């Protein structure tokens, strides 16, 4: 098996024979060091870093005999690809109305999630089949609903978020999965029951609003607090 006698790469000893060994192995691993000439230049260092990036968080461009990078390069250690942490905005992207009930609950401010869980349990005991339609939704989805006339505001309590962009909704929309927004939601008594359960927990229910009645909507705080929630959300 090939070996190196001293360090190769950025700040390394870079003995010509060692550099050649490293360049040959890098090329074989798909990390092109340029000409295989035994000279450790910028291309070779870049190739070392590129190779290291598949298993190291902070590639340093240096290979020491017997150490991690050499073990990977010489095939003495099998590559286990670094799994990049999923970015939060990606985890929370997409159409939030399609998320699971649990994910919708997790998109709410914890205090809201606790109350919504209690409301859903109570309504279930009363013979309804409640489900959360929206917890949090993005400002982009809000803009669409506004354009479609389905919401009266460009920023709603559903858009509450933390400064890092993760959801922190102050509002939830709850429907009976059998009725949705149809007239049966009214005739079955579902909306009335939802309003009762929300008020019982000190919440604001959209069905109480004069003019634009937002039947499915429950929120944690009064409408007057919208500007504060928007500022808190960094929006």
The residues of the shown chain that bind Zn ion, judged by CB under 5 A, are: 171, 173, 217
The set of residues, in sequence order, having a beta carbon less than 8 Å from that of 38 and lying 6+ positions away, is 16, 17, 19, 20, 23
Nearest approach, Cβ of residue 218 and Zn ion (Å): 8
C-beta of 72 vs 217, nearer to Zn ion: 217
Q: What's the rounded Cα separation, in Å, for the pair 130 and 123?
A: 7
Residue among 45 and 216 whose Cβ is closer to Zn ion:
216
Tell me if 206 sits within 8 A of 152, measured CB to CB: no
Q: How far is the CB of 122 from Zn ion (least distance, A)?
A: 19
DSSP code for 210: S
Place of tokens 């400064």: 163
Q: How far is CA 187 from CA 75, 122, 182, 184, 193, in A?
A: 71, 19, 9, 5, 11
For residues 171 and 175, which CB has a smaller minimum distance to Zn ion in the complex? 171
Query: Least distance to Zn ion from the beta carbon of 108, Å?
Result: 12
Q: How far is the CB of 181 from Zn ion (least distance, A)?
A: 11
CB 217 to Zn ion: min, Å: 3
The nearer residue to Zn ion, 19 or 203, going by C-beta atoms, is 203
CA 130 from chain centre, in angstroms, equals 26
Give the number of other CB atoms < 10 A from CB of residue 87. 10
Which C-beta is closer to Zn ion: that of 105 or that of 171?
171
When CB distances to Zn ion are compared, the closest residue is 217
């Amino acid at each position: 098996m090939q070996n190196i006698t001293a360090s190769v790469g950025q700040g390394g000893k870079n003995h010509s024979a060692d550099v050649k060994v490293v360049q040959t192995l890098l090329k074989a691993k798909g990390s092109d060091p340029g000409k295989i000439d035994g000279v450790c230049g910028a291309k070779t260092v870049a190739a070392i870093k590129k190779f290291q990036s598949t298993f190291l968080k902070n590639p340093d461009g240096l290979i020491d005999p017997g150490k991690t990078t050499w073990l990977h390069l010489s095939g003495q250690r099998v590559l286990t690809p670094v799994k990049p942490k999923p970015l939060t905005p990606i985890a929370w992207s997409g159409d939030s109305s399609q998320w699971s009930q649990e994910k919708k609950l997790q998109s709410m401010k914890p205090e809201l999630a606790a109350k919504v869980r209690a409301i859903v349990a109570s309504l279930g005991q009363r013979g309804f089949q409640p489900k959360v339609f929206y917890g949090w939704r993005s400002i982009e989805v809000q803009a669409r609903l506004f354009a479609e006339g389905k919401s009266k505001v460009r920023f709603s309590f559903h858009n509450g978020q933390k400064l890092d962009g993760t959801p922190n909704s102050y509002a939830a929309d709850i429907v009976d999965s059998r009725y949705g927004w149809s007239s049966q939601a009214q005739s079955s008594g579902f909306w009335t029951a939802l309003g009762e359960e929300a008020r019982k927990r000190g919440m604001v229910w959209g069905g109480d609003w004069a003019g634009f009645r937002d039947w499915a909507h429950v929120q944690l705080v009064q409408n007057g607090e919208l500007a504060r929630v928007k500022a808190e959300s960094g929006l």
